[in-house]
Chain A
Amino acid sequence: MNSQWEPVIGIEVHVQLATQSKIFSNAPVEFGSEPNVNANLVDVAMPGALPVLNEDAVRMALKFGLAIEAEIAERCVFDRKNYFYPDLPKGYQISQFASPIVGRGELDVHLDDGSVQSIGITRAHLEEDAGKSIHDRFAQHTGIDLNRAGTPLLEIVTEPDMRSAAQAAACFRQLHGLVRWLQICDGNLAEGSMRCDANVSVRRSGESAFGERTEIKNINSFRFVERAVNYEIDRQIDVLESGGVVVRETRQYDADRDRTYSMRSKELSDDYRYFPDPDLLPLQLTADMLEAVKESMPELPREKLARYAQEHELPPATAVRLTRDFDLASIFDKTTDLGGDAQLVANWLLGDIAASLRREDKTYAELPLTAQQLADLVKRIHDGTLSSTLAKEVFEFAWSTEDSIDAIINERGLQQVSDQDELTALVQGIVDSHPAQVAQIHAGQTKVVGFLVGQVMKQSQGKADPKQVNALLRQMLNI
């Protein structure tokens, strides 16, 4: 990137809230149903049908607000955002304009280089999703599926605090982790449960005024956010350097071609003719409701982070990785509560277990290993019953059975040979059967000891402790 230019980025994230029913109707929220079977008279906008607000959508918005220590509006209003599109049969979207439920807050974003950036959250408001337009199925028509119409959305808007595409992607990832943590969204990007819009502008380095911005709509992966924003930064710099002007507009990212292209000129808020929806009364939050939401809050990632550093003395990078995923952190907590050594548990969860989950395309929520199994596995490594090689073998068995770790070790004879007499006999046997190598060692080629250690390990089928074997050999050979 050209260092004469500084990019300025803010993002808007649409989060589908994990309610059972829609925000203003009692139709079910379900992905992948037959078209229009989840659209009732409110969702298809029958004249006279009235919206009634879903209390869980409100609670979920409050959870998010509390998690980012935001200002919460005790009283807020729903507005109509007017525009015409066939997948919005009312002709307006119910949203919040002048008084969002969640006001200004802060989000700590952990970047890949280990640094933490505090990103301002401007607001988060409740609104309804639109239906879906199917453009490619019918030759002469566009098909409309209103199943998604009325799905509760929390639209989270950040300040233009980001200065690189990587920061924007990290911020989206952090929000994704947080809403999953709070269990207010399933976080399924492939099904559109979270969609990211990025507002991008560039200005000459050192300038304080922002340049004209464009908005890239509906990006649905962390990687695509980074690529789309990078493309857009470069495009704007090219336009400006060749004497052109950036036009305020909405652009779409085409992942296949890795470029953005213009969709339409950007409407200003005046074009939407916002006004308070007369069908909905102002929402007044009661102290009881706020208190109940506060009590339902889980321990937050930043609180866990601090606790892991203090209680378990974990390195910050490890603690950050553990607190990226709610299920991962929960397993870590359960396992350490059962007495598993924190550092070993973290190593396993972030190492072998992460790799195995990736291989089987599973999440930590679907981990086949129980916390008890993991705690016992780590205990048996700690007390020397298992070498790291044997531990991996036991782990493979534990992955596919519900047997206890001790049962696996005993049934399959996987414990380390720690009996001194047995081990001495084993080493003696190898020394006796390798006179040539012993001679080499006595002639000064001490590296050959490694070969003999290998032979003992092979003979023991990996059950000997290599350190002990090494010491015994050196003792026997007087070196």
Chain B
Amino acid sequence: MALSQLSLDHHEKAKLSADLDSIISFIEAMNQVSTEDVEPLAHALDLTQTLRPDVAVGGIDRSAFQRIAPETSDGFYLVPKVLQQR
């Protein structure tokens, strides 16, 4: 929850916990199905990837992104100190 920056009150927590339980039992039901002869499905759509020509488009407006970032300095996005192991 901390990682995804979500906050929940008591009522929501109880509701979500019930939802999660039912999702887990749903997955349990899928585990009963034999998938031995089934090709793994990479995508729900029966289409293939369209490719993009290698053309760079510059002139990116950094300030537009940095205005909505929690903290920036000298063009960098700032995050809490990442511990270095040394």
Contacts and interface: CB of A to CB of B under 8 A. Distances in A.
A20 interface: yes
B76 A145 contact: yes
A280 B47 CA distance: 10
Contact of B54 (A19, A39, A85, A144): A19
A97 to B, nearest CB: 11
Interface stretch (B7-15, B19-27, B55-63): B55-63
B56 A278 contact: no
A284 B49 contact: yes
Given A40-B60, A133-B82, A53 B54 contact: no
Contact of A146 (B58, B77, B86): B77
B16 interface: no
Contacts of A55: 51-54
A283 B40 CA distance: 15
Interface string B17-57: 00000000000000000000000101111011111111111
- The DSSP consensus for interface residues of chain B is loop
A143 B76 contact: yes
Given A38-B60, A84-B3, A143 B78 contact: yes
Contacts of A264: 85
A31 to B, nearest CB: 13
Interface residues of A, number: 54
Interface residues of B, number: 36
Contacts of B57: 21, 26-28, 40
Interface in A31-47: 34-41, 44, 46
A263 interface: yes
A408 B86 CA distance: 60
Contact of B73 (A27, A138, A261): A138
A44 B64 CA distance: 12
Contacts of A19: 54
Contacts of B45: 281
Interface of A: 19-21, 26-29, 34-41, 44, 46, 52-58, 75, 77, 84-86, 98-99, 133-135, 137-138, 140-146, 261-264, 276, 278, 280-284
